[in-house]
């Protein structure tokens, strides 16, 4: 009962200052495979699963479904999660927007949204040294002169995964001009099935400036199936959705990654039939029926238990790192978002905003390294830990050594030679970043969603 009362009494988030504005900062992200923790945990879970589901193992989803969590195991009920989401959308500064009520009224408001993005200061553009004319073309491509009153908003559902850009171009802006450099015009990725409000377009209409529920930016217009606002909201209110619980599954030549949700139609012996969004030749929204294997999805969101949370996290081990979700990969904060989306939990996109939603936040900034480690152990597995430009998940201990799971670029185990990771890994808590600073010195906050 004490836990129940605690869940129902909401905590206010602490606003912390970070040096870097999002979870896609390569220079501050680091880690090793530490797969002992995963192997030991997975073997225990598989043994339990085999005993409980021996006869149904071939036809039931491999992941923990909402029916598999007992009341005592539940960290938050679906009703409590919905209330948490509602509060998060009302909190300022976290980038989250309720698309049902989002409605900029003037051209000035939309122009201000577009102009929030400035050209990043990196020397290479489109693989060659950047020149002044490049900046002029980028600024002109926004087509600001066509943002006029009265405002005309449009709505749509994403019919494919779409890169979110700070400017309407596929061209890259990088540090060294190499093909594998991070592209600093890349912001994020919207997944198929997400809704967007279309605020503006380029002169040739090839790019649209859109607002999603947790991000805004330029996306290719051909990724949008246009529809009425009512149709968009009906799609987003799907109940129950079919939720991807595997790391990723390919359907209709589209990569559906963990947390993607589509409207359910029928359940078959082997899968779930869903409404799969498609774009007609005239740009309008339509859909076809596709089937998603039960082994890769859940009918409805998963029950939010500690066991299920770790199960989802561990499935992402080995998933490649991508700055701002470049090439449909994941960065550190989108990795966390994908995990929590499988439970219906909505949270900010970037690490700098992860103290600004409906969660319990413990400020670590004034603590010693020893105090931080003690606080992390007390918070327990499944807690997120923040440091400038990066987010990790505490997953418990292996032989008494605290472990974290995160999608990371590089790290050092002892402050010496760096190991390139570029993937999601489990590593010791006390690793070092690329600058030779121990994570324990950098941690600023613990975020608990329970």
Residue among 256, 296, 290, 251 nearest 274 (CA): 290
Q: What is the rounded distance in angstroms from the CA atom of residue 307 to the CA atom of residue 343?
A: 12
Give one DSSP letter per residue of 374-389, joined into a string: HHHHHH-TT-EEEETT
pLDDT value of residue 348: 98
pLDDT value of residue 8: 37
Question: At CA 276, angle to CA 275 and CA 278, rounded to 5?
Answer: 125
CB atoms within 10 A of CB 383: 24
Give one DSSP letter per residue of 233-257, joined into a string: HHHHT-SSEEEE-SSEEEETTEEEE
Q: Where are the domains of the chain?
A: 2-96+303-448, 107-299
Q: What dihedral do alpha carbons 148, 154, 157, 161 form, nearest 10°?
A: -10
Contacts of 202 (CB under 8 A, 6+ apart): 141, 142, 143, 168, 208
pLDDT value of residue 43: 57
pLDDT value of residue 102: 97
Q: Cis bond leading into 150, ω under 30°?
A: yes
pLDDT value of residue 335: 98
What would the two tokens of residue 416 be? 């010496």
Contacts of 206 (CB under 8 A, 6+ apart): 168, 220, 221, 222
pLDDT value of residue 121: 96
Q: Do 210 and 262 touch, CB atoms closer than 8 A?
A: no
Pick among 3.90.1720.10, 3.40.50.300, 3.60.10.10, 1.10.486.10: CATH of 2-96+303-448: 3.90.1720.10
**Length of the chain measured in residues:** 450
Sheet bearing 195-201, strands edge to edge: 186-190, 162-165, 216-220, 207-211, 195-201, 154-158, 224-227
End-to-end CA distance of the chain: 14
Alpha-carbon distance values, 132 to 127, 136, 139, 174, 385 (Å)? 15, 7, 11, 15, 41
The radius of gyration of the chain's CA atoms, rounded to the nearest angstrom, is 22
What would the two tokens of residue 441 be? 């010195």
pLDDT value of residue 24: 55
Q: What is the pLDDT along the chain (450 residues), one digit of tens a residue?
A: 443 334 334 343 433 333 333 445 433 433 333 345 445 544 554 454 444 444 333 333 333 233 345 666 999 999 999 999 999 999 999 999 999 999 999 999 999 999 999 999 999 999 999 999 999 999 999 999 999 999 999 999 999 999 999 999 999 999 999 989 999 999 999 999 999 999 999 999 999 999 999 999 999 999 999 999 999 999 999 999 999 999 999 999 999 999 999 999 999 999 999 999 999 999 999 999 999 999 999 999 999 999 999 999 999 999 999 999 999 999 999 999 999 999 999 999 999 999 999 999 999 999 999 999 999 999 999 999 999 999 999 999 999 999 999 999 999 999 999 999 999 999 999 999 999 999 999 999 999 999
């Amino acid at each position: 009962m004490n836990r129940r009362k605690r869940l129902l009494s909401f905590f206010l988030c602490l606003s912390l200052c970070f040096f870097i504005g999002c979870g896609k900062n390569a220079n501050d992200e680091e880690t090793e495979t530490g797969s002992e923790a995963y192997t030991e945990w997975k073997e225990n879970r598989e043994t339990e699963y085999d005993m409980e589901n021996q006869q149904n193992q071939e036809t039931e989803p491999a992941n923990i479904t909402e029916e598999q969590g007992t009341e005592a195991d539940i960290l938050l009920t679906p009703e409590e999660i919905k209330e948490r989401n509602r509060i998060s959308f009302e909190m300022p500064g976290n980038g989250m927007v309720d698309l049902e009520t989002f409605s900029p009224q003037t051209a000035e408001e939309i122009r201000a949204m577009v102009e929030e993005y400035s050209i990043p200061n990196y020397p290479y553009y489109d693989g060659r040294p950047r020149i002044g004319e490049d900046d002029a073309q980028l600024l002109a491509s926004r087509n600001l002169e066509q943002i006029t009153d009265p405002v005309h908003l449009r709505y749509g559902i994403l019919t494919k995964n779409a890169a979110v850009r700070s400017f309407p171009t596929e061209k890259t802006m990088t540090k060294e001009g190499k093909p594998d450099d991070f592209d600093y015009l890349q912001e994020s990725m919207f997944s198929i099935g997400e809704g967007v409000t279309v605020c503006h377009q380029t002169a040739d209409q090839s790019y649209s400036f859109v607002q999603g529920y947790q991000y805004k930016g330029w996306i290719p217009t051909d990724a949008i199936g246009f529809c009425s606002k009512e149709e968009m909201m009906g799609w987003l209110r799907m109940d129950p959705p079919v939720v991807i619980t595997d790391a990723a599954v390919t359907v209709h030549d589209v990569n559906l990654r963990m947390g993607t949700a589509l409207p359910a139609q029928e359940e078959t012996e082997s899968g779930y039939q869903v409404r799969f969004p498609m774009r007609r030749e005239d740009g309008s929204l339509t859909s076809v029926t596709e089937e998603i294997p039960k082994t890769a999805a859940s009918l409805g969101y998963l029950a939010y238990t500690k066991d299920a949370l770790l199960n989802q996290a561990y499935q992402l081990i080995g998933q490649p790192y991508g700055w701002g979700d470049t090439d449909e990969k994941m960065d550190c904060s989108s990795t966390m978002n994908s995990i929590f989306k499988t439970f219906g939990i909505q949270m900010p996109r970037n690490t700098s905003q992860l103290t600004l939603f409906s969660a319990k936040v413990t400020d670590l900034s004034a603590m010693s390294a020893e105090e931080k480690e003690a606080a992390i152990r007390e918070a327990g597995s499944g807690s997120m830990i923040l440091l400038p430009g990066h987010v990790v998940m505490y997953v418990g201990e292996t032989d008494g050594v605290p472990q974290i799971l995160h999608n990371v670029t590089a790290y050092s185990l002892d402050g010496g030679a760096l190991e390139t990771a570029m993937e999601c890994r489990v590593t010791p808590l006390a690793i070092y970043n690329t600058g030779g600073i121990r994570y324990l010195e950098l941690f600023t906050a613990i975020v608990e969603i329970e």
